[in-house]
Chains A and B, each alone.
Chain A
């Protein structure tokens, strides 16, 4: 009997611990804790009109997702330069925290524990709204006004996630735009000297490349629907999210169905490679470097690396092709934000100094020249560093030029959930091929009722 009771108790405990582990307690707890914590910065801001300046030496941290290679080296170099030259005695410590999602989670966790950094680099659409809606980011407007910082100098299309409730809560930093990378040598062998402007042209080239046995696949599109599918739908005159962010027009006007149908047809026709399940981007680029894949679209942020690895052929870069006659491209990447909650006035002031430093022409130009990220300000594009680089390697300029046709996804609190849904069904249609585009769109529609608010 005793044993039985003990066994029952043990079973119960195991079940409970499983339930607790699965229920994901963190989000709510963190949220309530975040709101409970005192908001030192905010209170001070209300009492003072003009923000403080840094008065004594201080050490602040910036958390970011820039790992190894040129990317990690660049932020290390920026920090070193700032620490050496700033007149306030500010020491910035840069800490790599993992990819964008880990950086976001760790920052939220640290805010509720009171161990938050002064600055954080967040994915513009997946990170900034999450933190902005928690009201933990600093409104930089007073600093911008005090220092006559020119907001008009930013490429305006990159500012979509900078404004929230008339506050400036983040600034563009490591921003990119997906461009069309192609194996120029292969294209020329097939008799094409110009990159395709439309998918109709790309289809023709892709089919020819495969038919001539020049490569295995002519093109590949990754499963990143908030970037690629969204852009294709935009070209068809629709969008993934409505302007108010409360619904998905593409489900009603047939744009999603049209894009999925085309994509599936390209794959079925054998010239477009279906994406793989794990490390898809790395796997795709590996195929490209070996000449098995002739073209793909991917972030301009990886350009420096792609140039380094494309050794056996001539690399070409051009605009994102279009499905219609509207040329367009999305933007992506990370914004920099100052964490207000839990940080004192001096920390905030020091953080602003570092932001200002990163936005200087020289830093913006170096950041772009060394990695392939976009020069985010107009004035930096005229700096000698970039002029020299663009002259020497014109491929770097393509992404910057493409910004004239760039479009931005509307701000929406439902973006992450809807994106996940699209991702799941794109893999059913393209990779798994267990559903037709019609079935998938029908399913997405049904599931979207649980995501968006009822009208």
Chain B
């Protein structure tokens, strides 16, 4: 009996930390999810309810008016199309530039490779705010300000991507590459058929990071665009605020839902790969 009591006591003592652990985790999850929840329910409220004090945690009157007014008043299709083209084009442009560069830095010893890699690192330390004026003038002189190119071309080389991919390639043993060379595989084949599949998790992570940062990018397109037809979704959201009108929270939040929706979907599919890309590093 006494033994049993001690055993249960021990079990309880052991369960308490696990229980606390779960509680804390749950609290963190709620803390992170709440703004998203708030954004979504606000987008379904009428304006009067969004400013109600005390606030309602579930829409009393459920309405799609915010969404209909966004779709009716704005050419949302154009902005959405631009956002998609820009982000996908950037990713498509980055891969053929990033992979050979990372491969060369990881596996070749050529004169000046350390200096050149240093330059790549420097590139990723310089903030965009330093370069935007010269880049803007460059684009203006090239006469391409009214196209999507100023939002795509400057991001063709992703310094952070080259760095991350190089670290990943360095972990792949040279023997595998040599074996492939013995089988007469070309360097291109080695890069894209051998190295790339072995760094899938890193590639997906990089594509994700690129996607999120360019999808959410506000400052760069604000500077580089001056007409509606080349503007991405982020700038369109800004238009939902007006000097005299103030902020219509439901409309603004509906815009934000549309803006973050693709990111949430992609993240749900890719999150495991991202964790793996970083965990892999830790094992080395």
Contacts and interface: CB of A to CB of B under 8 A. Distances in A.
Contact of A10 (B73, B122, B245): B122
Given A13-B125, A290-B53, A309-B47, A109 B223 contact: yes
Contact of B145 (A13, A65, A113): A113
A18 to B, nearest CB: 8
A224 B84 CA distance: 40
B63 to A, nearest CB: 15
A164 B53 CA distance: 49
Interface in B117-163: 118, 121-122, 125-127, 129-130, 133, 136-137, 140-141, 145
Contacts of B213: none
Interface in A371-406: 371-372
Given A98-B222, A290-B52, A305 B239 contact: no
A107 to B, nearest CB: 9
B105 to A, nearest CB: 15
B175 interface: no
Contacts of B137: 112-113
Contacts of A115: 140, 145, 226
A68 B51 contact: no
Contacts of A20: 130
Contacts, number: 111
Contacts of B126: 13, 17
Interface in B40-90: 47-48, 51-53, 73-74
B216 to A, nearest CB: 17
Given A95-B228, A109-B136, A289-B51, A100 B125 contact: no
A6 B223 CA distance: 34
Given A17-B125, A286-B51, A302 B226 contact: no
Interface residues of A: mostly helix, strand, loop or mixed?
A: helix
Contact of B246 (A99, A110, A281, A371): A281
B240 interface: yes
Q: Which of B52, B129, B141 has the most CB of A within 10 A?
A: B129
B147 to A, nearest CB: 12
A67 B226 contact: no
B227 interface: yes
B242 A21 contact: no
Given A20-B130, A95-B227, A292-B53, A279 B244 contact: no
A325 to B, nearest CB: 31
B135 to A, nearest CB: 11
Contact of A67 (B118, B122, B240): B240
B51 A290 contact: yes
Interface string B214-243: 000000001100111000000000111111
A347 to B, nearest CB: 15
A68 B223 contact: no
B129 A67 contact: no
A311 interface: yes
8 contacts: A6-B114, A17-B125, A69-B245, A71-B242, A72-B73, A109-B136, A110-B226, A113-B141
Given A68-B242, A301-B243, A309-B48, 13 more contacts: A17-B125, A25-B133, A61-B226, A67-B241, A67-B243, A68-B239, A68-B251, A72-B242, A95-B227, A97-B226, A110-B226, A113-B140, A371-B244
**Which 8 pairs show the lowest CB-CB distances between chains A and B?**
A67-B242, A113-B140, A282-B246, A286-B51, A301-B244, A302-B244, A282-B247, A69-B245
